[in-house]
Structure 1
């Protein structure tokens, strides 16, 4: 009995790996069609907005202001656990929307604010960062499963890597589909940031947007959108 179970497991493993590879290829091939599963243009899109610190947050908030608020709702803002300023900026912005909306109670419910563990703090040793990276990844997976975002917006902070990787893993496993929009910072003129390079090389981002033409020429799968910030 034990031998039969062991043999069955050995036979099932290659099949499982093959299916996983096929699914990975399918997800990679279909990236770039972010909202294909929405039946109407009026449908609401649950979105996750990743905030970095300093300039990253300022740039992302510029992108958020251009969104159709009645369409991209509810909005979930996520920042690193040690970054309170970014969430405060998002809260101030969302509060400003309440002041101009007729249904203030509904508008207040359109935004939620969350924090996530950092993979690595500035100055932290690489050895100790192994444990914190694992913790951040598990936390990111929990957030993605809880929120079930249909769209993820990010623009460079390292905080986005575990979130995007978790969303991509769920797509490969067939447990959800999140379209990832990565907007490279305008400060990146000649080369991508480390976060951008990872998402580009691993084909995790569905839409990869750069703001300088020379970057698009260097990374042909990127979309040149001109200056957005």
Structure 2
């Protein structure tokens, strides 16, 4: 009975005290081919690039020339930055090419993971990773999550943009992307900030 009092089966919800970096946040935006790039650029349109979300690192597949072009057009239109001073593009190999044999896919994934290691653990590693599910985001997310598997925690907050996901991921926090620039956090009271 005493052991249960000391080590309960279920963790009680306790509020975490999280040390968050002060803006600006080094932001990684993962783009995918097709509609994924357009969705991410629409989401990024509402971000305050001048004060909060800079520098930016866009991750694209190494053969995705259209997304590369869209990034440059977007940055030039939004910030007028033709010098690429506050953003750069990081190319990684595709995890799987269309029509690629499933036998060779693990090798492609391994190459993409290696390229993502450079991004996540380099000197200018991102404070924030924003992705919406293209295949290109898998290696980036896996590598960013890898330290946690080894017992190291680099992620202070896990934000989701759909409120129903906080039920699926209890430590996730709902972020209202339409309020990001209003109160500088956009974090809803619906968040689950427990460990």
TM-score using structure 2 length: 0.69
Q: CA RMSD in A?
A: 3.3
Partner of 2:117: 141
- Report Cα offsets for 1:67-95 as digits up to 9, x if no partner: 11121100000101111111211111111
The aligned runs of 1:23-62 (5 Å cut-off) are 36-38=18-20, 40=22, 43-62=23-42
CA contact (8 A) 1:148 1:176 kept: no
CA contact (8 A) 1:78 1:87 kept: no
Q: Which segment drifts farther, 54-63 or 137-146?
A: 137-146
Q: Distance in 2 between matches of 1:218 and 1:39?
A: 23
Call closer, same or farther: CA 1:217–1:109 in 2, change over 3 Å: closer
CA contact (8 A) 2:26 2:55 kept: yes
- Report Cα offsets for 1:33-72 as digits up to 9, x if no partner: 8xx43354xx210010000111111110011111111211
Q: How far did 1:218 drift?
A: 11
Q: What is the aligned residue count?
A: 161
Unaligned stretches of 5+ residues in structure 1: 1-28, 181-205
Q: Distance in 2 between matches of 1:217 and 1:39?
A: 25
TM-score using structure 1 length: 0.60
Call closer, same or farther: CA 1:149–1:39 in 2, change over 3 Å: closer
Partner of 1:83: 64
Q: Distance in 1 between matches of 2:161 and 2:64?
A: 25
Unaligned stretches of 5+ residues in structure 2: 1-12, 180-195
Q: Distance in 2 between matches of 1:88 and 1:218?
A: 35
Partner of 2:144: 167
SS of the counterpart of 1:127?
coil
Call closer, same or farther: CA 1:61–1:39 in 2, change over 3 Å: closer
CA contact (8 A) 1:48 1:75 kept: yes
Q: Distance in 2 between matches of 1:46 and 1:127?
A: 37
CA contact (8 A) 1:150 1:177 kept: no
Call closer, same or farther: CA 1:72–1:218 in 2, change over 3 Å: closer
RCO (CA 8 Å, sep 6+): is it higher in 1 or 2? 2
CA contact (8 A) 2:31 2:60 kept: yes
